[in-house]
Chain A
């Protein structure tokens, strides 16, 4: 029988209802997603009281452009 739940919905549900162990590929994907959010979201979008500017990614880009 065909699974009635679509793949994107299953991915979303498995992301929400987390049952994976550490050191699995699913865990690595979640870690990458979290790090991307933390480092790529400009602090001004979140109204960060302590940080401003474009963060480590912006610094790296400026360094590459300067070279």
Chain B
């Protein structure tokens, strides 16, 4: 087993408990998704105020909701097409909220350079999701590239808890650019090969 696989298994124990509680209380997964967004907005406020540790703790709480909504939906037999759509849309709002919190902080500190770096990281984080969604309307699957949402969120937590948010913005920015490029290249190749098959 890999190190990241082991960490994932260990984290599943407390999450299992929360999932079981939500299932027992029959909380609708769409509500869990929305509560996750509200908590993320709270985290964004803390980021904007420069309270990184507090923001990190709130991001953990928010992402527990974000992680369990799909599992609760499956166990309550409440999986729906709208639920998937709702989850994706709310995820984008949550992403943008966190980046906006940092943009506010850096602009308040008069650091235009980091306002731009964070804005570029935000733009490519959103484009990462958009390129996959658009590609999968044309091809079967487009799951290439490293920097997806779980990686971004874990990096936000690491940046917050160890006060290394600037380095994290560089990593998210650069790897999101790569991820978007990967998805464009992959989609181009897939479409070209399918066109060749038809011809």
Residues of A within 8 A of B (CB): 16-19, 22-25, 27-28, 30-31, 34-35, 37-39, 41, 43, 46-51, 55-56
Assess the B178–A49 pair: CB atoms within 8 A: no
Assess the A16–B182 pair: CB atoms within 8 A: yes
Assess the B4–A50 pair: CB atoms within 8 A: no
Name the interface size band of chain B.
35 or more
In-complex Cβ contact of A18 among B106, B145, B165, B168 (8 A) = B145
10 A-B contact pairs sorted by A residue (CB < 8 Å): A16-B182, A18-B144, A22-B150, A28-B2, A38-B167, A47-B113, A48-B164, A49-B166, A51-B164, A51-B165
B86 at the A interface (CB under 8 A): no
- Secondary structure call for the A interface: helix
Name B155-172 residues within 8 Å CB distance of A. Answer: 155, 158-159, 162-168, 170-171
Minimum CB–CB distance for B190 against chain A, Å: 12
Given known pairs A17-B182, A35-B158, A49-B109, the reply for A43 and B166 (CB within 8 Å) is: yes
**Distance of A39 Cα from B171 Cα, bound (Å):** 12
Chain A residue with the shortest CB-CB distance to B115: A49
**Distance of A41 Cα from B145 Cα, bound (Å):** 24
A39 — which chain B residues lie within 8 A by C-beta?
162, 164, 167
In-complex Cβ contact of A55 among B2, B5, B52, B164 (8 A) = B164
**Distance of A25 Cα from B185 Cα, bound (Å):** 24
**Distance of A46 Cα from B175 Cα, bound (Å):** 17
